[in-house]
């Protein structure tokens, strides 16, 4: 049974999350001797060979070096002795897929290619183990904060809502936010929490609509103590997170601004609203936001409507 947790973990990860990105490469016209020296210096057992535009053309492994040495051809170019029929994996494949290729072929490393066939990394058993440990660590840190989280994800009063957000669909902005807020209102949460969650989710939604290539998902899970919101997309990712977190900085187009978005306040506002804010992003791979809202007794219990009566929040209106 212990395996199922790790299996679930592996299943969730994509290959790019487990690859090593600072890959040492060589060119076909280099001599085998130079590659041998490179491998010794960097303590690696295989070097991908790329052409001038970064396309993978082969790989030189320890076995290739030994073969060349055996035949006294160590001074010859890589082109003659490299393995040309390279088994590769894709960056967006589930990690399980790449692991089964490693397992099936018995190779110690697999070059990782992106959609356009460019070499973007390399997966090895070590890089996979490393990524699993990092992910485990993250989950453990979460569970230490909220130990019940690991065992009970569906408390009786719990709530789980998932939203798909479509890129470019400006008119639907705020839809997830309003639906979620209505559920929180139905559960009698305090106005302040409802408001902070609604604003953060609205901003996240707007980001998915404006900035992503294919939209993304928002998942909100509530239990007795917290509301956790995860926002995930698969690209294009943020090149400079520090800059994106700055008030007023935006890459949005004029059209987007005309429609009322792109003020460059989104991420800072989300951070302001949430009790815990975590962002991870890599250009080419997408962005993931982890938000947490703590439910203090006041936040959970105070269901007294604030402000004038007759508001529409609880009306169950038809969106």
Partner 1 sequence: MLWSELMAELDATVLVPGADFDVNAIAAADLLSDILATEKEDFVILTGQTSPPAIRTALAVGALWVVVVRGKTIPQEMIDLAKSFGIPLAVTGKKMFEACVSAGARMWNSPSSRS
Q: Which spans of this chain sit near partner 1 (rule: CB under 8 A)? A: 170-175, 177-178, 181, 191, 194-195, 198-199, 201-203, 206, 257, 259-266, 269, 272, 306-313, 315, 317-319
Q: Min. distance of Cβ 318 from partner 1 in angstroms? A: 5
Q: Min. distance of Cβ 43 from partner 1 in angstroms? A: 50
What is the C-alpha separation between 214 and 168, in angstroms, rounded?
9
Is the CB of 156 or the CB of 312 nearer to partner 1? Answer: 312
Q: Min. distance of Cβ 63 from partner 1 in angstroms? A: 57
Q: Min. distance of Cβ 134 from partner 1 in angstroms? A: 33
Is the CB of 142 or the CB of 251 nearer to partner 1? Answer: 251
Is the CB of 91 or the CB of 203 nearer to partner 1? Answer: 203
Is the CB of 10 or the CB of 193 nearer to partner 1? Answer: 193
Is the CB of 100 or the CB of 186 nearer to partner 1? Answer: 186
Q: Min. distance of Cβ 173 from partner 1 in angstroms? A: 4
Is the CB of 237 or the CB of 266 nearer to partner 1? Answer: 266
Q: Min. distance of Cβ 317 from partner 1 in angstroms? A: 4
Is the CB of 79 or the CB of 302 nearer to partner 1? Answer: 302
What is the C-alpha separation between 269 and 130, in angstroms, rounded?
33
What is the C-alpha separation between 287 and 302, in angstroms, rounded?
34
Q: Min. distance of Cβ 169 from partner 1 in angstroms? A: 10
């Amino acid at each position: 049974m212990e395996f199922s947790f790790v299996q679930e973990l592996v299943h969730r990860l994509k290959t790019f999350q487990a690859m090593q990105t600072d890959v040492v490469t060589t060119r076909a016209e280099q001599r085998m001797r130079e590659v041998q020296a490179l491998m010794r210096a960097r303590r690696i057992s295989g070097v991908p060979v790329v052409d001038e535009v970064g396309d993978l053309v082969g790989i030189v492994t320890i076995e290739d070096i030994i073969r060349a040495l055996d035949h006294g051809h160590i001074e010859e170019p890589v082109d003659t002795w490299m393995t040309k029929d390279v088994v590769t994996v894709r960056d967006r494949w589930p990690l399980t897929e790449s692991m089964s290729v490693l397992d099936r072929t018995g190779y110690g490393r697999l070059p990782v290619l992106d959609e356009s066939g460019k070499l973007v990394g390399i997966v090895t058993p070590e890089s996979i183990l490393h990524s699993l440990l990092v992910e485990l660590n993250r989950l453990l840190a979460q569970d230490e904060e909220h130990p019940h989280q690991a065992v009970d994800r569906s408390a009786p009063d719990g709530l789980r809502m998932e939203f798909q957000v479509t890129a470019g669909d400006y008119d639907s902005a705020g839809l997830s936010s309003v639906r979620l807020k209505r559920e929180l209102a139905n559960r009698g949460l305090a106005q302040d929490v409802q408001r902070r969650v609604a604003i953060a989710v609205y901003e996240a939604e707007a980001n998915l609509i404006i900035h992503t290539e294919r939209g993304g998902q928002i998942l909100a899970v509530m239990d007795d103590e917290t509301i956790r919101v995860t926002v995930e997309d698969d690209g294009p990712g943020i090149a400079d997170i520090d800059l994106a977190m700055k008030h007023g900085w935006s890459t949005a187009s004029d059209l987007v601004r005309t429609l009322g978005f792109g003020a460059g306040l989104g991420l800072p506002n989300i951070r302001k609203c949430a009790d815990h804010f975590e962002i991870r992003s890599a250009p080419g791979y997408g962005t993931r936001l982890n938000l947490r809202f703590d439910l203090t007794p006041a936040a959970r219990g105070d269901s007294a409507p604030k402000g004038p009566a007759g508001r529409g929040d609880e009306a169950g209106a038809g969106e």
